[in-house]
Amino acid sequence: MKEAYYFSHDSNARNDKKILDMLSVYGAEGYGWYWMLVEMMRDASDYKLDMQSKYSFNAFAMQLYADSTKIKDFIMDCINEFGLFESDGSFFWSNSLLRRMEKKKKVSESRQIAANKRWKNANASKNDADGMQDDAKESKGKKSKGNKNESKGIDDEDIDAQYARVVDFYQRNIGQLPPAQYQYVEDWLGTFEADVLILAMQRSLDHGAGKWSYINRTLDEWQKHGAKTLADCKAQIVEFDRQKEERHEKSQAGISGVRFGRDQTQSGGKSEFAFLDTQNRTGG
């Protein structure tokens, strides 16, 4: 079985204007064709599909389970009308996919460099290791000071450290991170800093979930509501908890109101019988 490759996919891609334009013509069927073609591009060595061969569109149509003429029209519209694909006449590709794969490549290279450094340190003598550790601390201090005036985005140099922090927190507090989730950590670090991912994990623990699916949904909600920084996410937590407490209070008020009405009816009935009993005893 051929190895399956991964690429990130926005959960709200269907709301992109170019996608909406395509949907207005080809509907959900075209949406399926589009993502199948992107998957085929991901499998290609250079992330581009050949369209110069005499039978290229026949081959695409076979994999998309559709008529070759219709698929050719669809691909050409995606290139010329909707702007979803680019083409040089011989190949066509998705610029969005190319950007994502370039980003993934940089992250992977950064992780490999860091892993090689750790391996060398682990195989060095203790004296050399101690010296390297001191150098690393000094380098980290200089780097930290230098980054104070830079943007808050994650650069290639420290993304491995952020990645290690996230994985370490998960494995110390939740358990072994499933292999399939390592890529999600990388992808989320392209959107949020490590502290945000750790906050989502802590949120999961506080609610007794401790599952990556819960963490992923939390991050997805923060992103959908426009959060970008740790402060943004903390503010969303405060607002969410406030609304939850407000709903709880309203619910309790409704229950209390029902009980109060029932008690009033019951107490009213008892008072009426008590009054009649008093009247009978006193002859009133």
Helices 68-80 and 56-64, packing angle to 10 deg: 100
Q: What is the C-alpha end-to-end distance of the chain, expressed in Å?
A: 98
Rounded to 5 degrees, φ, ψ at 92 are: -135, 155
Kindly tell me if the per-residue pLDDT of 223 is higher than 60.
yes
Classify residue 270: in a domain, yes or no. no
Classify residue 84: in a domain, yes or no. yes
Span 235-257, pLDDT tens digits:
998 988 888 888 888 877 766 65
Mean pLDDT of the chain: 76
Same domain, 183 and 214: yes
Classify residue 198: in a domain, yes or no. yes
Span 16-47, pLDDT tens digits:
899 999 999 999 999 999 999 999 999 888 89
What pLDDT is stored for residue 14 in this prediction? 79
Domain count, the chain: 2
What pLDDT is stored for residue 85 in this prediction? 96
What pLDDT is stored for residue 41 in this prediction? 93
pTM: 0.43
Residue 107 near residue 164, CB atoms below 8 Å: no
What pLDDT is stored for residue 51 in this prediction? 93
Residues 237 and 277: their CA atoms lie apart, in Å, by 59
Q: Which pLDDT band, with edges at 50, 70 and 90, does 144 fall under?
A: very low
Same domain, 125 and 216: yes
Same domain, 137 and 74: no
Q: Which residues have C-beta within 8 Å of that of residue 77, sequence separation ≥ 6? A: 22, 25, 26
Same domain, 55 and 168: no
Same domain, 51 and 22: yes
Span 39-91, pLDDT tens digits:
999 988 889 999 998 899 999 999 999 999 999 999 999 999 999 999 999 99
Same domain, 69 and 119: no
Give residue 33's domain range.
13-93
Rounded to 5 degrees, φ, ψ at 11 are: -70, -20
What pLDDT is stored for residue 81 in this prediction? 96
Same domain, 85 and 115: no
Same domain, 64 and 112: no
Domain boundary among 224, 249, 270: 224
Same domain, 110 and 141: yes
Same domain, 183 and 125: yes
Same domain, 112 and 218: yes
Classify residue 30: in a domain, yes or no. yes
Rounded to 5 degrees, φ, ψ at 91 are: -135, 160
Which of 47-51, 204-208, 271-275 reaches the highest mean pLDDT?
Answer: 47-51
Same domain, 89 and 107: no
What pLDDT is stored for residue 105 in this prediction? 76
Span 145-181, pLDDT tens digits:
444 333 344 444 467 788 888 888 888 888 887 777 7
Q: What is the CA radius of gyration of the chain?
A: 30
Kindly tell me if the per-residue pLDDT of 134 is higher than 60.
no
What pLDDT is stored for residue 151 in this prediction? 37
Domain boundary among 171, 194, 224: 224
